[in-house]
Structure 1
């Protein structure tokens, strides 16, 4: 009934399999399907072909926001979109209601690729933060004060991350020898503190 009620169908479910199951019996002829479910690029491309075969136009989305950011423009959340530019343009105002929009290309897999790439960087950042917290956990250091230091340090280092994706490269006067010695100290410290070194 929900699919039949509108020319625009927006799906945001647990995973790609959930979308397939939920829409298995739906008549998508003439519909515009926007899928905001987290998926892989290949899954998004497959879903686009599946939708097209059933008479629908397809637009994939990758949500770059946590629930409290939805519907709050000043929170900075946004959604990547890729696939049919016609669908994006036709429904742009509606799509902008929950969060800002960023169209990243006609390839249906591009939104998912942008989404998962950024989430992967975030996951590594949080893993690093947990590693740092583990190092000082039993050392008699105030955890709240250390948490502030950790946040401030990561914020200060954040601009340098753009270089890894082809952005501007900040000048780094650190010699390779000094960098290698520093990396070795990270490993030795983790071992001394009894923290797993797998992350490093």
Structure 2
């Protein structure tokens, strides 16, 4: 009986692959594929890092070109886009399937896709939503965004799913990086708020450990706002189901936030950029909205030549 849907660890899915880059993330990826039975050829600019994987069963190539020649599926996990171009410049890419796990920008993903395709390769760009210790552990929640060649993704889906869950986000090669950076940007905004909140209580007789669950609970309760924002952006109606309108937030709430920061001896610098945008939106006559309109102030169309 033929298994038409092999699991990532089944013999039918053990595709041989090449991995360029064996830093912390590359090593974690390599070990996950090796543990699942995939033949893996590795290369790293600092050879000792690649040699360490030989004990796990990897074949170590002397050059990037040699590693690329070893297998059709080529995974790249290097420092940046420039290092990808440098590593692959002397490699024969015709007929190869290149999957770029190197962190980059949407523009770099699109340019690298065109570069690879001009050399006869199919191409996927990716954005890893995980840190190395999460790789290879299904329960960790790790996943990777992929965009670019749909045919390449479908053919190698099972192999790509071995180290982390996979999420294909479109044929545009820039979309994986865009999703990655958009989520990370939201994360850093949250970190900014967390930092300001802890700074407010820092000099008081309030234990950070006691305050932490209160902050976590509040942030979790507010997280549902992402769906409300998406709904408003889709409908174009920023006044729909508004609970705290912009006028109230700017005219009353902002004053309290800023005065409290001053009283506690805490810098306003993490709050001011967003509060200033809210005031600009209010001054433009949108007091009955919530904060969704701030997005339109940020998403300024690029200047035309």
Tell me by how many angstroms 1:161 deviates.
1.9
Aligned pair count reads: 200
Q: Bigger CA drift: 19-28 or 97-106?
A: 19-28
Q: Distance in 1 between matches of 2:101 and 2:231?
A: 27
Unaligned runs of 5+ in 2: 1-65, 272-305
Question: Of 22, 27, 31, which residue of structure 1 is paired with 2:96?
Answer: 31
1: CA distance, partners of 2:77 / 2:173: 16
- In the superposition, the TM-score normalised over structure 1's length comes to 0.93
Q: Which of 77, 80, 88 is the aligned partner of 1:12? A: 77
Does 2:98 align with 1:98? no
Query: Which consecutive segments of 4 or more residues in structure 1 shift more than 4 A?
Result: 167-170
2:268 alignment counterpart: 197
Paired residues for 1:1-200 under 5 Å: 1-166=66-231, 171-180=241-250, 181-200=252-271
Q: 1:164 to 1:173 in 2, by over 3 A?
A: closer
Structure 1: tracts of 5 or more residues without a match: none
TM-score normalised by the chain length of structure 2? 0.62
Take 1:37 and 1:163, find their aligned partners in 2: how far apart are those partners?
Answer: 33
RMSD (Å) for aligned C-alpha atoms: 1.8
Q: Within 2, Cα distance between the matches of 1:131 and 1:70?
A: 32
- Largest Rg, 1 or 2: 2
SS at match of 2:189: helix
Q: Alignment partner of 2:159: what SS?
A: helix
Cα 1:175–1:7 shift into 2, 3 Å: closer
Q: For 1:101 and 1:164, locate their aligned partners in 2 and report how far apart those are by CA, in whole Å.
A: 26
Per the alignment, residue 293 of structure 2 pairs with none
Distance in 1 (CA, whole Å) between partners of 2:122 and 2:110 is 12
User: SS state of the match for residue 144, structure 2?
Assistant: strand
Q: Bigger relative contact order, structure 1 or 2, given CA contacts below 8 A and separation 6+?
A: 1
Query: Distance between the aligned counterparts of 2:229 and 2:196, measured in 1?
Result: 22
**Which range is displaced more, 95-104 or 184-193?**
184-193
**1:164 Cα deviation (Å)?**
2.8
For residue 107 of structure 1, report the CA deviation from its aligned partner. 0.5
Q: 3-state DSSP class of the match of 1:79?
A: strand
How far off its partner does 1:178 sit? Answer: 3.3
For residues 67 and 163 of structure 1, the distance between their equivalents in structure 2, rounded to whole angstroms, comes to 33
